[in-house]
A and B are shown apart, each in its own frame.
Chain A
């Protein structure tokens, strides 16, 4: 889902509680270049918004990294 919204992104999703709804996403994307962290997080949040809205993800921690 995140990789679709941010083509070329490397995405790693960790299930922090084992329940599948508290997730941590580590995202590395070329689109982050030159963006502030807050904007990087906004981009990832926007990508997963439908899943947050329908409640299938309850909590998402985001870590963003610029592309290697």
Chain B
């Protein structure tokens, strides 16, 4: 089935108008799918501004459109500068590796960094070398 040309045009327009755009199930306030929720959570941590489109009311026609635009038919989909970055799996990997911050042009938030070593004292106490009187 070919994509609806009007909807496709609308989507292309929205992509031009939003540097960071998330197609998701539900809304950022009330995601309707765990994968969409994860991506929203990561974007929120990044502190970046983004547009969000709820795909649920137009799910099937929209699948056809994103299939034609970016060869991707599942949601969520995160776009930056009009290019598809990925779905939840890819975004999560990129979030953890710092690539997402890079693509978004923001600083990697502290909390997203790899878990730090458990608090080790900066100067570990070291016992003096054992000495034996000869």
Contact = CB atoms under 8 A, between A and B. Distances in A.
Instruction: Enumerate the 9 nearest inter-chain pairs by beta-carbon distance, A residue then B residue, closest first.
Output: A37-B90, A38-B86, A38-B84, A37-B86, A61-B89, A42-B71, A38-B90, A41-B90, A62-B89
A38 B71 CA distance: 10
Interface residues of B, number: 10
Contacts of A41: 86, 89-90
Nearest to B89: A61
B94 interface: yes
A31 interface: no
B93 A63 contact: yes
B89 A63 contact: yes
B15 interface: no
Given A61-B89, A62-B89, A63-B89, A37 B94 contact: yes
A61 B35 CA distance: 12
Interface string A7-18: 000000000000
Interface of B: 70-72, 84-86, 89-90, 93-94
Nearest to B91: A37
A61 B85 CA distance: 16
A61 B89 CA distance: 8
Contacts of B84: 38
Contacts of B72: 38, 42
Nearest to B99: A37
Interface string A31-49: 0000001100110000000
A62 B84 CA distance: 16
